[in-house]
Amino acid sequence: MPDIDQELEVRAAAMEVPKPRRPAAARPTPAERRARLVVRLLGLLVLALLIAVGSLSYRMYRLESLVLPRNSPALATPRPVTPRGDLLSGEKARIELFRNTWKSVVHITTLAVRQAPFSMNALKVPQGTGSGFIWDNQGDIVTNFHVISGADEARVTLADHSEWRARLVGHSSRNDIAVLRIVGAAQRLAPLAIGTSRNLVVGQDVVAIGSPFGLDYTLSTGVISGLGREIEGSGGLPIAGVIQTDAAINPGNSGGPLLDSAGRLIGMNTAIVSPSGGSAGVGFAVPVDTVARVVPQLIAYGREIRPVMGVELADDALTERIGLDGVLVLRVVPGSPADQVGVLPTRRDPASGDILLGDLITDLDGNAVHSNVELNLRLEKFHPGDTISVGLLRNGDRRIVSLVLSNNLGK
């Protein structure tokens, strides 16, 4: 039996697969030893920083607890309201003025019709906003012409937040005035009281109400800073007699009212001078006397009625190049006042083909004119039906003609 055991052990030993010998561990290089040392040092540094931050936070917490005790009953007690006396008389007057006038101011939103980029559908997109004020109980709303210029549709929002579609009644680009009309809102309308701009004085208080940056019914106060200013209007003609104010006027205030301390309309806010586009304390308003003269004409005729002579004038640059001092007549409207008194236009000689210069207007009612702007400004001081004297220079000869002014309704 022992022999059998030995033989089995021998066979088992012969069948056993020898185990691979574990290779000896490689010794780290000097670079690896330095890297391991750096990693250990960085770990110790991070640990030290965490301990320092934790210690500092604990000390700050303890210091705060000592200076401001937590859960203090005294700090949890609400502060009492300090009573005040009556409002100042100026504050009361300003509050009363706003209460009496704000419902007469409206917010205007203009829309433009655009075609959808991926279809043929027409879309109405907002174009801009402005202000306006109620003129009468018929639904007429006054604003600046530049507020609605170029828009396809305008909507008016009243003080009760009702929105109404408006149609354009008429406009005067010359004086930056437009009249819109809404229908069906007669019971909601509160027209503003109309004042005058003839007796305004520098230094008197004014109030502007409007929608600067879309913030409706915003009130700003100031004084009249200057009178008789001029700002550029349509066609290069200045709007004269403009009121300057330091009341805050910003984009969105255009078309809103400028009121005196009695709550009367004395101007329509229309422009600012500002490098940034925001209020810089220099705002301008069209005087109410101009508004009161033009608005009834826009309501009745859709346009401003202006006196005309019935002439078409040459450009000032052309007249200067020719070397003439005055306003050259290019054409005369047949049947016009100028045609009736024999004013000659610039024309071509049928025989020679040479250009014959027309009459040169040198003065109106004895006041010299040197440009188209001067002539139109002087002409605006008259009314259709007035008789004026016109100084003419024809072929070097001076003559004076009298003509009766007509109006522009027939043009």
Tell me: the pLDDT tens digits for 261-316? 999 999 999 987 766 555 567 899 999 999 999 999 999 999 988 899 999 999 88
List the Cα angle 128/116/182 in 5-degree steps.
40
Q: Is 146 a catalytic residue?
A: yes
CATH number for 205-301 (one of 3.30.70.100, 3.30.70.260, 3.20.20.30, 2.40.10.10): it is: 2.40.10.10
Q: Regarding predicted confidence, which is higher, 303 or 32?
A: 303
pLDDT confidence band for 120 (50 / 70 / 90): low
pLDDT confidence band for 75 (50 / 70 / 90): low
**What mean pLDDT is predicted for residues 160-169?**
94
Does 359 have pLDDT greater than 80? Answer: yes
Two tokens at 339? 């045609």
User: What whole-number distance in Å separates Cα of residue 195 and Cα of residue 258?
Assistant: 10
Q: Do the two domains 205-301 and 307-410 of this chain adopt the same fold?
A: no
307-410 — its CATH code?
Answer: 2.30.42.10
Query: What local confidence, expressed as pLDDT, does residue 68 receive?
Result: 60
Query: What local confidence, expressed as pLDDT, does residue 264 receive?
Result: 96
pLDDT > 90 in the chain, percent: 51
Minimal CA–CA distance to 293: which of 162, 174, 387? 174
Phi-psi region of 214 (alpha: psi -120 to 50; beta: other; left: phi over 0): left
Q: Is 176 a catalytic residue?
A: yes
**What mean pLDDT is predicted for residues 129-141?**
94
Q: What topology is assigned to 98-114+123-188 in CATH? A: Thrombin, subunit H (2.40.10)
**What mean pLDDT is predicted for residues 388-398?**
91
Q: Regarding predicted confidence, which is higher, 115 or 191?
A: 191
Does 12 have pLDDT greater than 80? Answer: no
Where exactly are the structural domains of the chain?
A: 98-114+123-188, 205-301, 307-410
- Identify the active-site residue in 254, 279, 336, 406: 254
Q: Regarding predicted confidence, which is higher, 410 or 317?
A: 317
Two tokens at 396? 């070097």
User: What whole-number distance in Å separates Cα of residue 209 and Cα of residue 217?
Assistant: 6
Query: What local confidence, expressed as pLDDT, does residue 20 receive?
Result: 54
- Identify the active-site residue in 104, 131, 140, 146: 146
**What mean pLDDT is predicted for residues 15-28?**
58
Does 25 have pLDDT greater than 80? Answer: no
Output phi, psi for 253, to 5 deg.
-80, -15
Query: What local confidence, expressed as pLDDT, does residue 329 receive?
Result: 93
User: What whole-number distance in Å separates Cα of residue 343 and Cα of residue 360?
Assistant: 9
Query: What local confidence, expressed as pLDDT, does residue 360 receive?
Result: 93
3-state helix/strand/coil string of the chain: CHHHHHHHHHHHHHHCCCCCCCCCCCCCCHHHHHHHHHHHHHHHHHHHHHHHHHHHHHHHHHHHHHHCCCCCCCCCCCCCCCCCCCCCHHHHHHHHHHHHHHHHEEEEEEEEEEECCCCCCEEEEEEEEEEEEECCCCCEEEECHHHHCCCCEEEEECCCCCEEEEEEEEEECCCCEEEEECCCCHHHCCCCCECCCCCCCCCCEEEEEECHHHCCCEEEEEEEEEEEEEEECHHHCEEEEEEEECCCCCCCCCCCEEEECCCCEEEEEEEECCCCCCCCCCEEEEEHHHHHHHHHHHHHHCCCCCEECCEEECCHHHHHHHCCCCEEEEEECCCCHHHHCCCCCCEECCCCCCEECCCEEEEECCEECCCHHHHHHHHCCCCCCCEEEEEEEECCEEEEEEEECEEHHHC
pLDDT confidence band for 386 (50 / 70 / 90): very high
Output phi, psi for 258, to 5 deg.
-110, 120
Does 55 have pLDDT greater than 80? Answer: yes
User: Under a CB-based contact definition with an 8 Å cutoff, are residues 330 and 360 in contact?
Assistant: no
Most confident region among 94-98, 110-114, 173-177, 377-381 by mean pLDDT? 94-98
* Of 116-120, 219-223, 267-271, 394-398, minimum mean pLDDT range: 116-120
Query: What local confidence, expressed as pLDDT, does residue 275 receive?
Result: 61
Does 133 have pLDDT greater than 70? Answer: yes
Query: What local confidence, expressed as pLDDT, does residue 54 receive?
Result: 86
Minimal CA–CA distance to 270: which of 218, 221, 232, 304? 232
- Kindly list the distances between the CA atom of residue 160 and the CA atoms of 110, 215, 308, 390, in Å, as whole numbers in the listed order: 19, 15, 44, 54
Mean pLDDT score of the chain? 85
Query: What local confidence, expressed as pLDDT, does residue 164 receive?
Result: 94
Query: What local confidence, expressed as pLDDT, does residue 353 receive?
Result: 83
pLDDT confidence band for 37 (50 / 70 / 90): confident
Q: Is 315 a catalytic residue?
A: no
Two tokens at 4? 């059998």
- Identify the active-site residue in 140, 176, 216, 359: 176
* Of 16-25, 128-137, 164-173, minimum mean pLDDT range: 16-25
Q: What is the pLDDT of residues 203-250, one digit of tens each?
A: 999 999 999 888 889 999 999 999 999 888 765 678 888 999 999 888
Identity of the amino acid at 86 = D
Is residue 231 classed exposed, middle or buried when 0-12, 13-18 and 19+ CB atoms within 10 A define those classes? middle
Query: What local confidence, expressed as pLDDT, does residue 24 receive?
Result: 54
User: What whole-number distance in Å separates Cα of residue 381 and Cα of residue 403?
Assistant: 15
Query: What local confidence, expressed as pLDDT, does residue 209 receive?
Result: 95
